Protein backbone atom coordinates (compact mmCIF):
# COMPACT_ATOMS: atom_id res chain seq x y z
CA UNK A 1 0.00 0.00 0.00
CA UNK A 2 1.33 3.44 -0.95
CA UNK A 3 2.58 5.55 1.98
CA UNK A 4 0.45 8.61 2.63
CA UNK A 5 0.79 12.02 4.27
CA UNK A 6 -1.77 14.40 5.76
CA UNK A 7 -0.64 18.03 5.55
CA UNK A 8 -2.65 20.35 7.81
CA UNK A 9 -2.64 24.11 7.38
CA UNK A 10 -3.88 27.15 5.54
CA UNK A 11 -3.54 28.44 2.01
CA UNK A 12 -4.14 32.16 1.48
CA UNK A 13 -4.70 34.50 -1.42
CA UNK A 14 -1.42 36.28 -2.15
CA UNK A 15 -1.05 39.76 -3.60
CA UNK A 16 2.52 40.38 -4.66
CA UNK A 17 3.89 43.71 -5.84
CA UNK A 18 4.74 43.35 -9.51
CA UNK A 19 8.31 44.32 -10.37
CA UNK A 20 8.78 47.22 -12.72
CA UNK A 21 5.08 48.09 -12.59
CA UNK A 22 4.14 45.13 -14.79
CA UNK A 23 1.59 42.55 -13.75
CA UNK A 24 2.49 38.90 -13.41
CA UNK A 25 0.75 35.75 -12.30
CA UNK A 26 -2.89 34.85 -12.58
CA UNK A 27 -4.28 38.38 -12.48
CA UNK A 28 -3.31 41.91 -11.50
CA UNK A 29 -4.82 44.78 -9.57
CA UNK A 30 -3.79 48.41 -9.64
CA UNK A 31 -3.37 50.03 -6.25
CA UNK A 32 -2.97 53.58 -5.05
CA UNK A 33 -0.14 55.38 -6.78
CA UNK A 34 -0.26 53.10 -9.81
CA UNK A 35 1.28 50.06 -8.12
CA UNK A 36 0.42 46.73 -9.77
CA UNK A 37 -0.08 43.51 -7.84
CA UNK A 38 -0.18 39.96 -9.12
CA UNK A 39 -2.52 37.48 -7.48
CA UNK A 40 -1.58 33.97 -6.53
CA UNK A 41 -1.95 31.54 -3.62
CA UNK A 42 0.45 30.72 -0.82
CA UNK A 43 0.86 28.63 2.31
CA UNK A 44 3.80 26.84 3.88
CA UNK A 45 2.20 23.43 4.39
CA UNK A 46 0.47 23.69 1.00
CA UNK A 47 3.87 24.22 -0.65
CA UNK A 48 5.13 21.09 1.10
CA UNK A 49 2.06 19.15 -0.05
CA UNK A 50 2.65 20.16 -3.67
CA UNK A 51 6.28 19.08 -3.58
CA UNK A 52 5.33 15.81 -1.88
CA UNK A 53 2.87 15.10 -4.69
CA UNK A 54 5.53 15.90 -7.26
CA UNK A 55 7.83 13.45 -5.48
CA UNK A 56 5.12 10.80 -5.96
CA UNK A 57 3.94 10.69 -2.36
CA UNK A 58 0.21 10.27 -1.79
CA UNK A 59 -0.77 13.43 0.09
CA UNK A 60 -4.02 15.03 1.24
CA UNK A 61 -4.36 18.65 2.28
CA UNK A 62 -6.52 19.24 5.35
CA UNK A 63 -7.95 22.74 5.60
CA UNK A 64 -11.14 24.79 5.38
CA UNK A 65 -12.09 27.09 2.54
CA UNK A 66 -15.12 29.14 1.58
CA UNK A 67 -17.65 28.48 -1.16
CA UNK A 68 -16.32 31.36 -3.30
CA UNK A 69 -14.61 31.43 -6.69
CA UNK A 70 -11.12 31.91 -5.20
CA UNK A 71 -11.56 28.79 -3.06
CA UNK A 72 -12.73 26.93 -6.19
CA UNK A 73 -9.51 28.02 -7.95
CA UNK A 74 -7.40 26.75 -5.06
CA UNK A 75 -9.03 23.32 -5.03
CA UNK A 76 -8.71 23.02 -8.82
CA UNK A 77 -5.02 23.98 -8.70
CA UNK A 78 -4.26 21.50 -5.93
CA UNK A 79 -6.06 18.73 -7.80
CA UNK A 80 -4.01 19.49 -10.91
CA UNK A 81 -0.83 19.12 -8.85
CA UNK A 82 -1.97 15.75 -7.54
CA UNK A 83 -2.74 16.93 -4.00
CA UNK A 84 -5.78 15.20 -2.51
CA UNK A 85 -8.67 17.50 -1.58
CA UNK A 86 -11.13 15.03 -0.01
CA UNK A 87 -10.34 16.48 3.44
CA UNK A 88 -10.96 20.11 2.44
CA UNK A 89 -14.04 21.44 4.26
CA UNK A 90 -16.03 24.09 2.37
CA UNK A 91 -17.82 26.67 4.54
CA UNK A 92 -20.75 28.63 3.06
CA UNK A 93 -20.27 32.37 3.17
CA UNK A 94 -16.61 32.21 4.25
CA UNK A 95 -13.46 33.26 2.38
CA UNK A 96 -9.79 32.31 2.42
CA UNK A 97 -7.32 34.61 4.17
CA UNK A 98 -5.38 37.27 2.27
CA UNK A 99 -1.85 38.58 2.52
CA UNK A 100 0.08 41.18 0.56
CA UNK A 101 3.80 41.35 -0.13
CA UNK A 102 5.45 44.73 -0.69
CA UNK A 103 9.09 45.53 -1.33
CA UNK A 104 10.73 48.38 0.54
CA UNK A 105 13.41 50.71 -0.83
CA UNK A 106 16.10 48.11 -0.09
CA UNK A 107 14.20 45.31 -1.80
CA UNK A 108 13.27 43.62 1.48
CA UNK A 109 9.85 41.95 1.66
CA UNK A 110 7.13 43.22 3.99
CA UNK A 111 4.01 41.18 4.71
CA UNK A 112 0.52 42.42 5.52
CA UNK A 113 -2.18 39.93 6.54
CA UNK A 114 -5.99 39.86 6.57
CA UNK A 115 -6.87 36.45 8.01
CA UNK A 116 -8.82 36.89 11.27
CA UNK A 117 -12.08 35.63 9.72
CA UNK A 118 -10.53 33.15 7.27
CA UNK A 119 -12.27 29.80 6.88
CA UNK A 120 -9.16 27.79 7.83
CA UNK A 121 -9.15 29.23 11.35
CA UNK A 122 -12.40 27.35 12.10
CA UNK A 123 -11.14 23.90 11.09
CA UNK A 124 -10.88 22.62 14.69
CA UNK A 125 -14.36 23.84 15.61
CA UNK A 126 -16.73 22.45 12.98
CA UNK A 127 -19.33 19.67 12.81
CA UNK A 128 -16.87 17.87 10.49
CA UNK A 129 -13.90 18.25 12.85
CA UNK A 130 -14.23 14.90 14.68
CA UNK A 131 -14.39 12.94 11.41
CA UNK A 132 -11.43 14.89 10.06
CA UNK A 133 -9.32 14.29 13.16
CA UNK A 134 -10.23 10.59 13.29
CA UNK A 135 -9.00 10.27 9.72
CA UNK A 136 -5.44 11.06 10.87
CA UNK A 137 -5.12 7.45 12.00
CA UNK A 138 -5.26 6.34 8.36
CA UNK A 139 -2.07 8.18 7.35
CA UNK A 140 1.56 7.17 7.67
CA UNK A 141 2.61 10.73 8.50
CA UNK A 142 0.81 13.81 9.80
CA UNK A 143 2.71 16.99 8.92
CA UNK A 144 2.02 20.50 10.15
CA UNK A 145 3.91 23.66 11.02
CA UNK A 146 3.91 26.22 13.79
CA UNK A 147 1.99 28.48 11.43
CA UNK A 148 -0.74 25.83 11.35
CA UNK A 149 -0.91 25.77 15.15
CA UNK A 150 -0.97 29.57 15.37
CA UNK A 151 -4.28 29.87 13.49
CA UNK A 152 -6.24 27.74 15.99
CA UNK A 153 -7.34 28.73 19.47
CA UNK A 154 -6.14 26.83 22.55
CA UNK A 155 -9.06 24.33 22.64
CA UNK A 156 -8.56 23.69 18.92
CA UNK A 157 -4.90 22.92 19.41
CA UNK A 158 -5.77 20.58 22.28
CA UNK A 159 -8.20 18.66 20.04
CA UNK A 160 -5.56 18.40 17.34
CA UNK A 161 -2.81 17.18 19.66
CA UNK A 162 -5.18 14.63 21.22
CA UNK A 163 -6.02 13.28 17.75
CA UNK A 164 -2.34 13.08 16.83
CA UNK A 165 -1.65 11.16 20.04
CA UNK A 166 -4.39 8.64 19.15
CA UNK A 167 -3.03 8.28 15.61
CA UNK A 168 0.51 7.66 16.88
CA UNK A 169 -0.73 4.73 18.93
CA UNK A 170 -1.61 3.05 15.61
CA UNK A 171 1.74 3.82 13.99
CA UNK A 172 1.20 7.23 12.40
CA UNK A 173 4.28 9.46 12.70
CA UNK A 174 3.98 13.15 13.53
CA UNK A 175 6.34 15.55 11.76
CA UNK A 176 6.49 19.09 13.18
CA UNK A 177 8.06 21.97 11.26
CA UNK A 178 8.87 24.96 13.46
CA UNK A 179 8.22 27.59 10.76
CA UNK A 180 7.82 30.43 13.29
CA UNK A 181 6.20 33.77 12.48
CA UNK A 182 5.87 36.03 15.51
CA UNK A 183 2.94 37.99 14.04
CA UNK A 184 0.73 34.90 14.22
CA UNK A 185 1.03 34.51 18.00
CA UNK A 186 -0.41 36.61 20.84
CA UNK A 187 2.99 36.46 22.52
CA UNK A 188 6.18 34.43 22.64
CA UNK A 189 5.22 32.81 25.95
CA UNK A 190 2.18 31.23 24.30
CA UNK A 191 4.29 30.13 21.34
CA UNK A 192 6.93 28.56 23.62
CA UNK A 193 4.24 26.59 25.46
CA UNK A 194 2.73 25.27 22.23
CA UNK A 195 6.17 24.46 20.80
CA UNK A 196 7.02 22.45 23.92
CA UNK A 197 3.85 20.39 23.47
CA UNK A 198 4.62 19.80 19.78
CA UNK A 199 8.25 18.89 20.49
CA UNK A 200 7.13 16.30 23.06
CA UNK A 201 4.56 14.77 20.69
CA UNK A 202 6.66 14.71 17.50
CA UNK A 203 8.49 11.77 15.99
CA UNK A 204 10.43 14.09 13.66
CA UNK A 205 11.13 17.80 14.17
CA UNK A 206 12.32 19.95 11.28
CA UNK A 207 13.67 23.24 12.59
CA UNK A 208 16.16 26.04 11.93
CA UNK A 209 18.45 28.31 13.89
CA UNK A 210 16.39 31.26 12.61
CA UNK A 211 13.14 29.89 14.05
CA UNK A 212 14.51 28.85 17.42
CA UNK A 213 16.60 31.95 18.14
CA UNK A 214 13.49 34.05 17.55
CA UNK A 215 11.82 32.12 20.39
CA UNK A 216 14.84 31.50 22.62
CA UNK A 217 17.24 34.40 21.96
CA UNK A 218 20.85 34.06 22.99
CA UNK A 219 20.89 30.28 23.36
CA UNK A 220 23.61 28.11 21.84
CA UNK A 221 23.06 25.36 19.28
CA UNK A 222 23.45 22.80 22.05
CA UNK A 223 20.89 24.50 24.28
CA UNK A 224 18.37 24.81 21.47
CA UNK A 225 18.77 21.18 20.41
CA UNK A 226 18.41 20.04 24.04
CA UNK A 227 14.93 21.63 24.14
CA UNK A 228 13.65 19.11 21.58
CA UNK A 229 13.09 15.56 22.92
CA UNK A 230 11.85 14.16 19.58
CA UNK A 231 13.83 11.08 18.53
CA UNK A 232 14.59 12.48 15.08
CA UNK A 233 15.71 16.07 14.62
CA UNK A 234 16.87 18.12 11.63
CA UNK A 235 18.40 21.43 12.72
CA UNK A 236 19.17 23.73 9.78
CA UNK A 237 21.86 26.36 10.34
CA UNK A 238 22.17 29.82 8.75
CA UNK A 239 24.52 28.38 6.16
CA UNK A 240 23.28 25.42 4.06
CA UNK A 241 24.15 22.85 6.72
CA UNK A 242 21.92 20.56 8.78
CA UNK A 243 22.73 18.99 12.12
CA UNK A 244 20.96 15.65 12.52
CA UNK A 245 20.11 13.69 15.64
CA UNK A 246 18.45 10.30 15.31
CA UNK A 247 18.38 6.96 17.13
CA UNK A 248 21.89 5.59 16.90
CA UNK A 249 23.79 8.74 16.13
CA UNK A 250 24.28 12.32 15.04
CA UNK A 251 25.58 13.77 11.80
CA UNK A 252 26.23 16.95 9.88
CA UNK A 253 24.98 17.27 6.31
CA UNK A 254 26.24 20.03 4.03
CA UNK A 255 24.46 21.11 0.88
CA UNK A 256 26.39 20.87 -2.34
CA UNK A 257 27.84 24.21 -3.57
CA UNK A 258 25.39 26.32 -5.58
CA UNK A 259 26.07 26.49 -9.31
CA UNK A 260 23.26 28.94 -10.13
CA UNK A 261 22.36 32.32 -8.59
CA UNK A 262 19.80 32.50 -5.81
CA UNK A 263 16.64 34.18 -7.11
CA UNK A 264 14.04 33.74 -4.36
CA UNK A 265 14.35 31.87 -1.05
CA UNK A 266 10.57 31.42 -0.71
CA UNK A 267 9.64 27.81 0.13
CA UNK A 268 13.23 26.68 0.71
CA UNK A 269 12.22 25.14 4.04
CA UNK A 270 8.89 23.86 2.69
CA UNK A 271 10.58 22.00 -0.17
CA UNK A 272 13.30 20.67 2.15
CA UNK A 273 10.57 19.21 4.34
CA UNK A 274 8.87 17.54 1.37
CA UNK A 275 12.04 15.93 0.08
CA UNK A 276 13.05 14.79 3.57
CA UNK A 277 9.66 13.23 4.28
CA UNK A 278 9.48 11.59 0.85
CA UNK A 279 12.92 10.06 1.28
CA UNK A 280 12.18 8.78 4.78
CA UNK A 281 8.90 7.23 3.61
CA UNK A 282 10.79 5.54 0.78
CA UNK A 283 13.22 3.90 3.21
CA UNK A 284 16.17 6.31 3.20
CA UNK A 285 18.12 6.93 6.38
CA UNK A 286 18.08 10.46 7.89
CA UNK A 287 21.42 11.50 6.37
CA UNK A 288 20.33 10.55 2.86
CA UNK A 289 16.96 12.23 3.45
CA UNK A 290 18.64 15.46 4.54
CA UNK A 291 20.81 15.36 1.42
CA UNK A 292 17.64 15.07 -0.67
CA UNK A 293 16.16 18.00 1.24
CA UNK A 294 19.14 20.21 0.56
CA UNK A 295 19.17 19.26 -3.13
CA UNK A 296 15.54 20.21 -3.68
CA UNK A 297 15.75 23.40 -1.60
CA UNK A 298 18.89 24.46 -3.52
CA UNK A 299 16.95 24.01 -6.75
CA UNK A 300 13.80 25.81 -5.58
CA UNK A 301 15.65 29.00 -4.59
CA UNK A 302 16.93 29.37 -8.15
CA UNK A 303 13.39 30.17 -9.36
CA UNK A 304 10.95 32.94 -8.44
CA UNK A 305 7.99 32.04 -6.26
CA UNK A 306 7.28 29.12 -3.98
CA UNK A 307 6.46 26.48 -6.61
CA UNK A 308 8.97 25.94 -9.40
CA UNK A 309 7.94 24.82 -12.91
CA UNK A 310 7.25 21.12 -13.17
CA UNK A 311 10.00 20.63 -15.76
CA UNK A 312 12.57 21.96 -13.27
CA UNK A 313 11.95 19.19 -10.73
CA UNK A 314 14.87 16.82 -10.20
CA UNK A 315 14.78 13.40 -11.86
CA UNK A 316 13.08 10.60 -9.97
CA UNK A 317 15.32 8.48 -7.77
CA UNK A 318 14.70 4.90 -6.72
CA UNK A 319 14.58 4.27 -2.97
CA UNK A 320 14.50 1.16 -0.86
CA UNK A 321 11.01 -0.03 0.05
CA UNK A 322 9.57 1.72 3.09
CA UNK A 323 9.22 -0.19 6.33
CA UNK A 324 5.73 -1.11 7.43
CA UNK A 325 3.95 0.94 10.08
CA UNK A 326 4.50 -0.01 13.69
CA UNK A 327 2.46 1.25 16.60
CA UNK A 328 4.15 3.69 18.96
CA UNK A 329 4.76 2.16 22.36
Catalytic residue among 44, 60, 211, 270: 270
Rounded Cα distance, 248 and 31, in Å: 56
Whole-model pTM: value is: 0.89
- What contacts 154, CB < 8 A, 6 or more positions away? none
Active site residue 270: yes
Rounded Cα distance, 71 and 325, in Å: 34
What's the pLDDT tens digit per position in 46-74?
A: 999 999 999 999 999 999 999 999 999 99
What's the pLDDT tens digit per position in 164-212?
A: 999 999 999 999 999 999 889 999 999 999 999 999 999 999 999 999 9
Structural domains of the chain ordered from first start: 4-11+44-90+116-309 (3.40.1190.20)
28-30 sheet: strands from edge to edge: 28-30, 36-42, 12-17, 98-103, 109-114
Say what the pLDDT of residue 105 is. Answer: 58
Exposure string of 96-124, with b = 16+ CB inside 10 Å and e = fewer, is bbbbbbeeeeeeeeeeeeebeebbbbbbb
What's the pLDDT tens digit per position in 189-200?
A: 999 999 999 999
User: Is the pLDDT confidence value at 23 over 50?
Assistant: no
Amino acid sequence: MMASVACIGECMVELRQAQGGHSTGSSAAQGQGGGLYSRGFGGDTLNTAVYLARLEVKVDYLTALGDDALSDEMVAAWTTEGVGTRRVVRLPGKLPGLYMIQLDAKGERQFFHWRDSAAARQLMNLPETDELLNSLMSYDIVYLSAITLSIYDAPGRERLFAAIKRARLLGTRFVFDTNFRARGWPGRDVAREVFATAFAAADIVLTSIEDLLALYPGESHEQLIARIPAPELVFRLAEPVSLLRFPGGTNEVRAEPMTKPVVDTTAAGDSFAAAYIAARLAGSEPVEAAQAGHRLASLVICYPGAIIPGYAMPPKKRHRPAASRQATK
